[in-house]
Structure 1
Amino acid sequence: MSLAEYIDHTNLKPTATVADIKQLCLEAKTYGFYAVCVNGCHLPLAKEELKNSKVKLAAVIGFPLGAMSTKAKVFEARDYVEQGADEIDMVINIGWLKSKIYEAVKNEIQAIKLAIGDKILKVILETCYLNDEEKEMACSLSVEAGADFVKTSTGFGSGGATFEDVILMKRMVGDKAKIKASGGIKDKETTLKYIELGVSRIGTSSGPTLLK
């Protein structure tokens, strides 16, 4: 697999313009990235721009705080899949996890997975806010709930991906789920190290730079 095929080319900035999203999609097609990852309002535009290409379409839900109601997240996920999203990147309810309301965290992930059927679900743990025990629990709950991926970060928290977190996540999920590293990944060397550690997908806005 080429390096480009690991990359979810991402623009989740609140200031992202129509021109920015068009540029994102053009780069994804040019470099052969696996997917583009966008906020929901940009789905119709991205879908149109990616027409007749192999690039997948990913959208974020409950982003970036994860603190919306489960009902709202489920609606958002279903809506985006209906609009053509191939993959959904959801933010876990961090407050519930830290409060040890584990059943609610798991049920929410499960409900979203159920709503999107055979589409790919990535669960963003936002590791910068969690201790190791919480990270381990988040991984276990995600796997139990049927998530396809666990993902490190939104890129909007106080920190992004780290090698240590990916090692912990890999230890917890084994082959039961894949891992996406995202947040602050800007160079090729770092990317290759993550892949070596067992990461299946890299979320970055620096894709083109990274490949040069």
Structure 2
Amino acid sequence: MTTPAATGGKTAATARGEESRRRVLEAALGVFRTKGYTATTVDDLCAAAGVTKGSFFHHFDSKEAAALAAVAHWNEVTGELFATAPYWKIDDPRARLLAYLDFRAELVRGDLPKFTCLLGTLVQETFASHPALQAACGAGIEAHAQTLAPTIEAAKGKYAPDAEWSAESLARHTQAVLQGGFVLAKAMNDPQAALDAIVHLKRYLEALFPTTHRKRR
């Protein structure tokens, strides 16, 4: 029979274990975005999280396992961020899509690693060497892109009914531009490069979904 004291001790130990795992995952988001996958060591993750190697390997078998868990954690955290973002309150689909880009621009602040994408950072290094990471990052990027597809489909029906492109392909294009903006920001060491990419993407979407139709000559 389990005693109350034993149960309480187990619960406390479980809570401590969950907390140490959470700290590793939170640290991984920053370390991987700063140093990349290859340059990051288990020691780096432990130091950033303030945990021992023993604690790390209690939760993760390897650096790759930690990276995969970090991807899942990133998807959960950012998924909640975007699911509760204010642009969803906008009824008109064109305006909602443009507001999404405004929201993305608002996130471009602070040091480069803080606003760039974990998935894009990891997959650039690991797409050919770590298939599990490639698949996880690809699935995460695709899942986020597809949250935009219904809005794009509605905007297409209202503002560009004769367009031949698909909502899914345009949703992926938005992510291609955003991810490319992050790469340029890193290459130029200037967040403005990412902001400029968003501005041009917004202009492109405004042109794709005209609010007035030009008369044919």
TM-score (norm 1): 0.28
TM-score (norm 2): 0.27
Choose between structure 1 and 2: higher helix proportion.
2
